[in-house]
Amino acid sequence: MNTRARINGERLLQRLDEFAAIGATPAGGVNRQALSPEDRSARAKLANLALERGFGVFQDPMANLFIHRPGLSNDLPPFLIGSHLDSQPMGGRFDGALGTLSAFEVLESLEDASIQTPRAVEVVAWTNEEGSQYAPGCMGSMAFASGAIPIEWYSTHSPDGRVLGEELAATLDALPEAILRSLGSPLSGYLELHIEQGPSLERENIPIGIVHAIQGTRWLEVVVTGQTAHAGTTQLSFRRDPLVAVTEALQELYNSVMPNDERARLTIGRISLEPASINAIPGKVSFSVDLRHPDASELARLEDHVRVTCEEKASAFGCAAVIRRTFDMPPAQFSPLLLQAVDRAATRLGVASKPMLSGAFHDALFLARVTDAAMIFVPCRDGLSHNEAEFVEPEHSILGAQVLLESTLVALQMAMK
């Protein structure tokens, strides 16, 4: 197989600018949330670019958009590359878009070089990766991997009252040129380029991260109940103050979780008090816990540690704690075969790289359940993402796309099933 294809860097950077204009914010970011008019415009633009190059355009019932470039044998499962086009409400220009547009640039570069691949290569733009309007995130890849759309998703409402089922139907109708295909299909592999969304690569001056796993995540909702009482007349010995219990519990958790395991993550993102009056001892304190770890057994141990700590501290102050798990996502280990392909590609190109762990969700998490999957990271300035100031140096965008192209070619040469 001829492997002389090179990314057209100027074309890629121009495309990134063009797509950043769809849903552009005054501060230089992007507001292109899933199933919105802006999201539909971006999908339509990508589909039109594909049709102009003679590629096939498809969508499935979850509005995942697929662009197909045939291979020598179209009886073999395709190799899939891509990411997402939706953004946070005040998001950046590169989160998702870099991976999707780089994947499309791979197809164009293969076409420009007249390279015939042994099997089809497809680009995907997954629906609702961000989950900013409709929970959960990664809906498109989750539905693809499971082969079904949960019925309850259709009635999910956005914060402004829009219904997912209605917006999904409108999104599908807005792209009549895309041929409808069934949900889920066999793949030979999946590779996703993404910005790191953290500072490690930039700080170490390494342009490429080879992602070997995605951390598992558990969300807990903790409610500690005491007794509401008068702030001025209730002596210390008579107080059943849940806030004191929570303060003690959180202090112990902060001191014991991350300091003792550099791979562990503990975040308290939300906390509320009732009745939230300046002159009343609260009767109830509720807070969220976000736990992350790449090892499933350690993640379970962390949850047990949170439960025991909260229950013991609540009891010590005359209160009661109820802990409920609200979300559970097991860790994902990526394919050694594809990781080897990315490593070989970086070596061939003379590019420095490092193995990495992803602390954030990505669509590749769900693809890893049904096929060989891996991810490539590129640095982003100051590690910022989900932020209008999100930025990737042009040379890193181009290099990431070139590594994606080379990795795809290496993977196609390897024994992919």
**Residues forming the annotated binding site for Zn(2+)?**
84, 95, 130, 194, 386
CA distances from 285 to 221, 281, 311 (A): 11, 11, 13
The C-alpha atoms of residue 83 and residue 358 are separated, in whole angstroms, by 15
Residues of each annotated binding site: 84, 95, 130, 194, 386
The alpha carbon dihedral of 70, 74, 78, 84 has a sign of positive
Query: Each residue of 274-311: b (16+ CB within 10 Å) or e?
Result: eeeeeebbbbbbbbbbebbbbbeebbeebbebbbebbb
Q: CB of 86 within 8 A of CB of 129? A: yes
- DSSP assignment, residue 318? T
44: helix, strand or coil: helix
Q: CB of 82 within 8 A of CB of 107? A: no
What number of CA atoms fall less than 13 Å from residue 227's CA on the CB side? 11
For residue 121, report the phi and psi dihedrals to the nearest 5 degrees.
-115, 130
